[in-house]
Amino acid sequence: MNSVTPSLSRFPDADAPLLNDVPDETKGPIDLRAVWSAAYRNRVKLLITVIVAMLLGLLITFLSTPIFRADALIQIDQQAAQILAGTDVEPSESILDGDRFLQTQIDVIKSRTLARQVAESIGLYRNNSFLEKMHITPAAEPRGSYNLVQTRREQVVDALQKNLDVELPVDSRIVTISFSSPDRQLSAQVANSFADSFIVSNIQRKFNTSAYARRFLEGQLAQTRQRLEESERAQIAYARSAGLIDASSGSSEGQSSGPKSLTTANLIQLNQAYAQAVSNRIMAEQRWREASGTALLNQPEVLSNAAVQVLIQERAKAQAEYAQNAKRYLSGYPGQTQAAAQIETLNNQISRIASGIRDGVRQQYQIALSQEKALERDLDRLKGTTLTEQGRGVQANILRREVDTNRALYDALLQRYKGVSATAGVSSNNVSIIDRADPPITPVSPRLLLNLALALFTGLLLGVGYVVLREHFDDAIRSSEDVETELGTSMIGLVPMLAAGQSPNTELQKVRSETSEAYYALRAALELATPTGAPHSLMVTSTGPSEGKSTTSYALARGFAQIGRRVILIDADMRKPAQHRNLELPNKFGLANLLARQATLQEVLQHTTTPNLDFISAGPLPVNPAELIAGLGLAKLIDQIKDDYDIILVDAPPVLGLADAPTLASHVDATLFVVQANHARGRQARIALTRLKAARAYVVGALLTKFDAKVIGHSTDYGYSYSYGQTDPRS
């Protein structure tokens, strides 16, 4: 007996993958139609979510406590704290740091320190009135390491910070300090208190800056004074131990050309005296040399002597008288002798005085020479002493410079301290109030329109989230795109959903009905499914029951028969047969009897009212249908009738849970997989196709049944409308 197992190689895609091996070309950009479809399918849930959210928004709006917001405006100028004229204790801010400066001031306003100052200034710590107005329950027990009073104070500070808002517009120095509370008066009072406290705090910070500078300078002055005293003591102690006496202590400050010790002073004076003595000795020596080389009476000192001049005059007078008398008297005359003796006496006197003068010049030279030698000896002695003293003076100079440095530093710090003390706290305030806060008239919250908008947005967000989650976990097959992406196989046809009250058989009787046109299109697609035309033997199955496989089998058998093909329809669903009802034929004997060898083919073969269409019903329910189908009877049947019929259609049971369909698929040329829209699940359908693939079945394609474009949110002209505006007289 020849095998009736079909050769899968006759079909070009017999070994093609059936599952998700097909690349998904629909992924990438967002499919707006798929988004709309998901939203449309879940429109009721979306609408309910939005309505509930809007109602909750209205309820929250009407139950919320009105909140009043008061605003105080202050101006903050960028100004450094000027402590001294021409100098800054705080560095001035550049224009580029203006934004940073303003942000710093805003952070100061928001600080807990300023909040505590506000609470103290307006008495928020006195009782629980502030907390009650803010609808805050006062703490009944201490928190952390705080006692109960401190805990409630922290509650007040937290409430102030939480309801405080500080805003700074772009390109402006006007800062808005806002405070929100359920009480109008309280909002304005707190906002104004923040503005006042910030101004006071700003001034106090500047004063603290100058006070810190004064304290710092006082400490530096004390340290510098101590160092100055210690350096002076060290200098004096070293001078005493080294025997150094400062000869310049009485000189005016800044004169450094005077002698620094007595030895140096003596050396300077002695050097000056020695120079003078050398000069005097040279002059005296020159005079003596001139005097010793010149006639006695020709020396200028002799000629200029008054006594010599008188004697010379007297001698000249005596000589004149002697010469006058010599004309009358002889030399021996007593008068002449007396005159000659007088002249001789005068000459002796002149010679004696001249000799004395010359001896005085020589004596002056000898004295000058002696003084020079004596000063030279003393000078040599002081030079040695001075050199010895200079070695000890190096350390003295080091100590002296340290004293001078400490004194200069002390004087500079003292002047700085005097300036800081004189100008402390005189800087102008750079913060001023522009507008004080007034009690607000209308509340800022709740805001009905805003709350409704937020509720609408929240409802849409929740609804969309629900839809996204539902679509993510929902793998129902709804459209041709789902068939291709979920199952990895092409869709060969699409059958629309019947309206309520319509019967498939009735619609198939109408030549121009959408159902008839859909099956006409399926028949044409099967004609083109293989290179040799429609498959000779074709099994129709599905994932589960009630997906339209029996109707599809009946419609295909009827359609092929109407175009002249010899067709036999075999109802192989022996557990739940349906074809005998579609054909209005009996089911007393059928395939079960034939496979069990209880009847022959002629006994179970039935002719229908449709020309060219024969039928084998399922027959009575057997004990084990799977064993009957697994036997050789079905293969023999197909082999027996293949030459008598052009098309052999087998209406098989569902794949999942049963072994019948994979077994039947191994005996036919091709398999048509029926998928019910909005009912079949992708995972189950993939499992069913996997079982068919394991049986080496060739799935010619998938048929999507009971498709309703409106249900999934697609337009009615989804691409499968078969209405041409013609009226069928039989419809």
pLDDT (0 to 100) of residue 275: 87
- Encoding tokens for residue 216? 């710092």
**DSSP-derived secondary structure for 189-216:** HHHHHHHHHHHHHHHHHHHHHHHHHHHH
pLDDT (0 to 100) of residue 715: 53
549: left (phi over 0), alpha (psi -120 to 50) or beta: alpha
With 80 as the cut, is the pLDDT of residue 16 above it? no
* Apex 531 CA angle, 530 and 534, nearest 5: 45
pLDDT (0 to 100) of residue 65: 86
pLDDT (0 to 100) of residue 512: 80
Q: Which residue has the higher pLDDT, 444 or 299?
A: 444
Q: What percent of the chain has pLDDT over 90?
A: 19
Could you tell me if residue 84 is inside a domain? yes
Provide mean pLDDT across the span 587-602: 88
Q: Which residue has the higher pLDDT, 282 or 361?
A: 282
Position 238 confidence tier, pLDDT thresholds 50, 70, 90: confident
- For residues 180 and 111, state if they share a domain: yes
pLDDT (0 to 100) of residue 313: 82
- For residues 641 and 527, state if they share a domain: yes
pLDDT (0 to 100) of residue 439: 93
With 80 as the cut, is the pLDDT of residue 95 above it? no
Could you tell me if residue 583 is inside a domain? yes
Provide mean pLDDT across the span 375-399: 74
Could you tell me if residue 252 is inside a domain? no
Could you tell me if residue 245 is inside a domain? no
Instruction: Please give the residue range of the domain that contains residue 615.
Output: 520-696
- For residues 58 and 122, state if they share a domain: no
With 60 as the cut, is the pLDDT of residue 413 above it? yes
pLDDT (0 to 100) of residue 10: 40
- For residues 681 and 652, state if they share a domain: yes
Residues 699-714 have pLDDT tens digits of 998 888 888 777 666 5
Provide mean pLDDT across the span 295-303: 71
Instruction: Identify whether the C-beta of residue 541 lies closer than 8 Å to the C-beta of residue 654.
Output: yes
- Encoding tokens for residue 365? 């030279």
pLDDT (0 to 100) of residue 440: 92
pLDDT (0 to 100) of residue 477: 78
Give the CA count within 13 Å in the CB-facing half-sphere of 724: 5
Question: Per the omega criterion (within 30 degrees of 0), is the bond before 535 cis?
Answer: no
Q: Which residues pair with 703 in a beta bridge?
A: 493, 674
Annotate 106-138 with b (16+ C-beta within 10 A) or e (fewer): bebbbeeebbbbbbeebebeeebebbebbebee
Could you tell me if residue 615 is inside a domain? yes
pLDDT (0 to 100) of residue 110: 92
Packing angle, helices 334-423 and 306-325, rounded to 10 = 160
Say how many domains are in the chain.
4
With 50 as the cut, is the pLDDT of residue 27 above it? no
- For residues 295 and 363, state if they share a domain: yes
What size, in residues, is the chain? 731
With 50 as the cut, is the pLDDT of residue 727 above it? no
What's phi and psi for 724, nearest 5 deg?
-110, 10
Position 484 confidence tier, pLDDT thresholds 50, 70, 90: confident
Could you tell me if residue 238 is inside a domain? no
- For residues 577 and 689, state if they share a domain: yes
Q: In this structure, what CATH number is given to the domain that contains residue 623?
A: 3.40.50.300
User: Which of 131-145, 274-288, 432-446 has maximum average pLDDT?
Assistant: 432-446
**Mean pLDDT of the residues in the chain:** 80
- For residues 59 and 81, state if they share a domain: no
- Encoding tokens for residue 217? 């300078």
Q: Where are the beta strands (DSSP E) in 99-185?
A: 164-167, 174-181
pLDDT (0 to 100) of residue 316: 86
- For residues 269 and 377, state if they share a domain: yes
Burial of residue 341, with CB atoms counted within 10 A of its CB: 0-12 exposed, 13-18 middle, 19 or more buried = exposed
- For residues 307 and 184, state if they share a domain: no
- For residues 109 and 53, state if they share a domain: no
Could you tell me if residue 548 is inside a domain? yes
Burial of residue 545, with CB atoms counted within 10 A of its CB: 0-12 exposed, 13-18 middle, 19 or more buried = middle
With 60 as the cut, is the pLDDT of residue 252 above it? no
d(CA 277, CA 69): 104
With 70 as the cut, is the pLDDT of residue 86 above it? no
Dmax over CA atoms of the chain, in Å, equals 232
With 70 as the cut, is the pLDDT of residue 89 above it? no
- For residues 683 and 537, state if they share a domain: yes
With 80 as the cut, is the pLDDT of residue 374 above it? yes
Position 390 confidence tier, pLDDT thresholds 50, 70, 90: low
- pTM: predicted TM-score of the whole model, two decimal places: 0.49
With 90 as the cut, is the pLDDT of residue 348 above it? no
pLDDT (0 to 100) of residue 78: 76
Q: Which of 163-172, 396-405, 469-478, 592-601 has the least mean pLDDT?
A: 469-478
- Is residue 605 within a helix (H) or strand (E), and if so which, with residue range? strand 605-607
Could you tell me if residue 196 is inside a domain? yes
- For residues 546 and 653, state if they share a domain: yes
Residues 46-79 have pLDDT tens digits of 889 889 998 998 888 888 889 999 999 999 887 6
